[in-house]
Amino acid sequence: MDDLLSDSLTRLLEQISTPSVIRQIEAGGSAKDLWDSIETSGFLDALVPEAQDGAGLGLTEAFPMLMAAGRFAVPAPLAQTMLARASLAQAGVPAPAGAIALLGQMPTTEPGAPLHAVVPFGRVAEWLLTTIDDQAYLLPLTQGTQFESVGHGCLSVAVRWSTGLSEMTEARAVPVAQEDIESLAAVSYAAQIAGAADRVLEMTLDYVNQRTQFGKPIGKFQAVQNQISIMAERVWVSRMAAQLACQSEDWRARPLLAAVGKARTSEAAAIVADISHAMHGAIGITEEYDLQIYTRKLREWRHAAGAETYWESRIGEALLWQDGTALSFMCETLSA
């Protein structure tokens, strides 16, 4: 059933998350039509138990769907909303209508002070699932003030709520663990990076096999082949790491596997983007050419939910606290 669902989602995204739609939303256009198509399709409840009208998939089975969100650079938190709805269903909390962004921990403020944070997908999401002082909350993004995004076409945005948490209408506490939110956010972006990297490799291979120089495709030159091999290696490492991060018996992510997945995919994201642009030359950065859509997402998602240095420090901390050897830690603790 999971193959049927992922194939169906892929066909849907091919139609609704096209480069022209992505450009329109990144330029400030509404994502309502795109999100309505996703919401009415039912895919958002793929991880929700069947007893609660979901498909009952586990995180492992849902991996191709999460990866598809990255491959098509969906300009909305599709993967994050799927995971958020699963965690809310487990907690017995009805999921609100609309897109849900994930943020592991809000910046610390004084009690009663206005809240603020840089929210991935904040420009197009309606809700934020996050933790404040070890308590999870659903916060309405529509009640906050949005400031400039962090880069060209970036859907992450700084949001500030003018009132404190106690005065914020529609905000509600939910019984979801901070560790779950943080790990699910890491898993979602790891899978999206893997999907986008796969798309970038595909575009780069097509280009080097079509672009000719000195009477033959540039893909025939050894220097180009060397760079392509490095790129392909990083793409497949990303896919394996993201798939490892999704190894689970249910919807929950295993924290250390999520850390490994996000660390390895974030590390690969910049390398894949750099090599793809080196192979394309000047055409790769032009607005009309689609490559820059996906390489910008690689860089944006590299930092979302924490870059590689953050997650590597978490892995290192876990290694220092365990009793066994480093080899046993890698073979047992970090094994799926």
Report if residue 232 sits inside a domain: yes
Report if residue 67 sits inside a domain: no
- In this prediction, residue 133 carries a pLDDT of 86
Helix (H, G, I), strand (E, B) or coil at 98: coil
The distance of Cα 88 from the centroid of its chain, to the nearest Å, equals 19
Report if residue 85 sits inside a domain: no
Report if residue 151 sits inside a domain: no
More reliable by pLDDT, 182 or 146: 182
Q: Residue 240 sits in which domain range?
A: 178-333
pLDDT tens column, 253-307: 999 999 999 999 999 999 999 999 999 999 999 999 999 999 999 999 999 999 9
Report if residue 25 sits inside a domain: no
Report if residue 212 sits inside a domain: yes
The rounded distance, in Å, linking the Cα atoms of 140 and 226 is 48
Which residue carries 């450009």 as its tokens?
A: 23
pLDDT tens column, 47-63: 999 999 999 999 999 99
- In this prediction, residue 49 carries a pLDDT of 94
Helix (H, G, I), strand (E, B) or coil at 305: coil
Q: Where are the beta strands (DSSP E) in the chain?
A: 100-102, 116-119, 127-132, 135-140, 145-149, 157-160, 172-174, 212-213, 216-217
Residues in the chain: 336
Select from 157, 53, 151 the least CA-distant residue to 95. Answer: 53
Report if residue 129 sits inside a domain: no
Long-range contacts of 55-58 (CB under 8 A, 24+ apart): 55/1, 55/5, 57/1, 57/2, 57/5, 58/248, 58/249, 58/250, 58/251
What confidence category does residue 176 fall into, taking pLDDT thresholds of 50, 70 and 90? very high
Select from 322, 58, 314, 259 the least CA-distant residue to 332. Answer: 322
Domain count of the fold of the chain? 1
pLDDT tens column, 185-207: 999 999 999 999 999 999 999 99
Which residue carries 């590390």 as its tokens?
A: 267
Helix (H, G, I), strand (E, B) or coil at 54: coil
pLDDT tens column, 64-120: 999 999 999 999 999 999 999 999 999 999 999 999 999 999 887 777 778 889 999
The rounded distance, in Å, linking the Cα atoms of 225 and 221 is 6
- In this prediction, residue 336 carries a pLDDT of 57
For residue 295, the domain's CATH number is 1.20.140.10
The rounded distance, in Å, linking the Cα atoms of 205 and 221 is 13
Cβ neighbours of 325 (radius 10 Å): 11
Report if residue 269 sits inside a domain: yes
- In this prediction, residue 145 carries a pLDDT of 87
The model's pTM is: 0.95
